[in-house]
């Protein structure tokens, strides 16, 4: 059996088209959805990511401004700037690119972002809202994974989903989103004993570890849905995920490729969150 490919590029394109459509409607009502992106320092990967975020926004009609600061920016200055953006009614969404320089407390900086502008969904208020099932911004990567499962018509109720990885950004929110859809969820991590025994039971596996080829064909139940969140490099420098794609695709029912899987969906969900931040602020102001 060869798995069907979940095409993240195609799905992300559809989502961007929907965002563009809704953005145009909001602009016609006099509201220009706007995202402020803050980049501190000159980490090369962060520069690429933030450039993508700005370009994706502009292509869908959203306004995005990248603010760059030197690596030695005092934390207090950053917190003051976030506060100004929090108060600015023309800014609907705020994203502080991570990692921050070592002298800054990332947790404190993220907490400074107003929850109604926290489009990364990294704030404790956003995480708490997800935990208790209240409205709030969902972190873009697991949110994008859920959209992929929805797109293939994967009914999660009663299914066993195994999430490998327990980060605050992917693993934990992913598990909560799957649980909210009535899946039975197992979270695996570096101290898990006999990972293979667990993944072999899974109807859905989400690999978010950061280790190339960590999920091999013998660890997957025939017909399972395999979502690969990994972003690694081969020895030749080629982008690859956490899943041994060539092996697993012969066993799984569905599989996401890397590149062209979860990555474009993460980018698309930031646009959705930004638009929704603007839509919510509009409805709060009686538009
Ligand atoms: N650094 C790597 N990924 C992300 C992300 O999704 N959001 C932010 N703010 N920083 C990141």
Question: What does the pLDDT read at residue 264?
Answer: 98
* Annotation says 53 is catalytic: yes
- Tokens for 46, please give them: 């962060």
pTM over 0.95? The answer is: yes
pLDDT over threshold 90, residue 286: no
- pLDDT by residue (tens digit) across 217-235? 999 999 999 999 999 999 9
| Backbone dihedral angles phi then psi of residue 5, each to the nearest 5 degrees | -90, 135
Q: Which class would CATH give 30-114?
A: alpha beta
30-114 and 140-263 share one fold: yes
pLDDT digits (tens, 9 = 90+) for 110-158: 999 999 999 999 999 999 999 999 999 999 999 999 999 999 999 999 9
- Active-site option among 56, 116, 118, 120: 120
- Tens of pLDDT, residue by residue over 164-209, are 999 999 999 999 999 999 999 999 999 999 999 999 999 999 999 9
Q: Pick the atom of ligand 1 nearest to 140's CA.
A: 6
b or e along 228-262 (b: 16 or more beta carbons within 10 Å of the residue's beta carbon)?
bbbbbeeeeeeebbbbbbebbbebbbbbbbbebbb
120 CB within 6 A, ligand 1: yes
Asked if 236 is an active-site residue, the reply is no
- Asked if the 140-263 domain carries CATH number 3.40.50.720, the reply is yes
Provide the pLDDT for residue 287: 63
Q: How far is the CA of 266 from the centre of ligand 1 (A)?
A: 10
pLDDT tens, position by position, 10-61: 999 999 999 999 999 999 999 999 999 999 999 999 999 999 999 999 999 9
Share the mean pLDDT of the chain: 97
Residue 238 φ then ψ, to 5°? -80, 140
Q: Where are the domains of the chain?
A: 30-114, 140-263
Q: Percentage of the chain surpassing pLDDT 90?
A: 97
| Strand, coil or helix: 185 | strand
What does each C-alpha distance from 249 to 97, 178, 228, 243 come to in angstroms?
34, 23, 12, 9
Best CA proximity match to 227, nearest among 199, 195, 267:
199
Residue 34 tokens read as 């706007």
Other Cβ atoms less than 10 A from the Cβ of 29: the count is 9
């Amino acid at each position: 059996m060869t798995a069907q490919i979940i095409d993240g590029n195609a799905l992300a394109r559809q989502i961007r088209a929907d965002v563009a459509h809704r953005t145009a409607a909001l602009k016609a009502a006099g509201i220009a959805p706007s995202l402020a992106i803050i980049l501190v320092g000159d980490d090369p990967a962060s520069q690429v990511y933030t450039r993508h975020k700005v370009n994706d926004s502009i292509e869908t009609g959203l306004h995005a401004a990248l603010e760059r600061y030197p690596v030695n920016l005092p934390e207090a200055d950053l917190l003051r700037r976030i506060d100004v953006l929090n108060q600015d009614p023309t800014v609907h969404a705020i994203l502080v690119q991570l990692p921050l320089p070592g002298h800054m407390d990332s947790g404190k900086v993220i907490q400074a972002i107003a929850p109604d502008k926290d489009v990364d969904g990294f704030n404790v208020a956003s995480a708490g809202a997800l935990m208790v099932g209240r409205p709030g911004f969902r972190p873009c990567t697991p949110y994008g994974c859920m959209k992929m499962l929805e797109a293939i018509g994967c009914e999660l109720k009663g299914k066993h989903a195994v999430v490998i990885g327990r980060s605050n950004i992917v693993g934990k929110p992913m598990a909560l989103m799957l649980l909210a859809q009535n899946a039975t969820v197992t979270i695996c991590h570096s101290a898990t004993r006999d990972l293979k025994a667990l993944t072999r039971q899974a109807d859905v596996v989400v690999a978010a570890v950061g280790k190339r080829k960590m999920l091999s064909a013998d660890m997957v139940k025939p017909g399972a849905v395999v979502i690969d969140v990994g972003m690694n490099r081969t020895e030749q420098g080629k982008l690859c995920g956490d899943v041994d794609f060539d092996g697993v695709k012969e066993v799984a029912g569905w599989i996401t490729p890397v590149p062209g899987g979860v990555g474009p969906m993460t980018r698309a969900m930031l646009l959705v969150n930004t638009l929704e931040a603007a839509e919510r602020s509009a409805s709060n102001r009686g538009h």
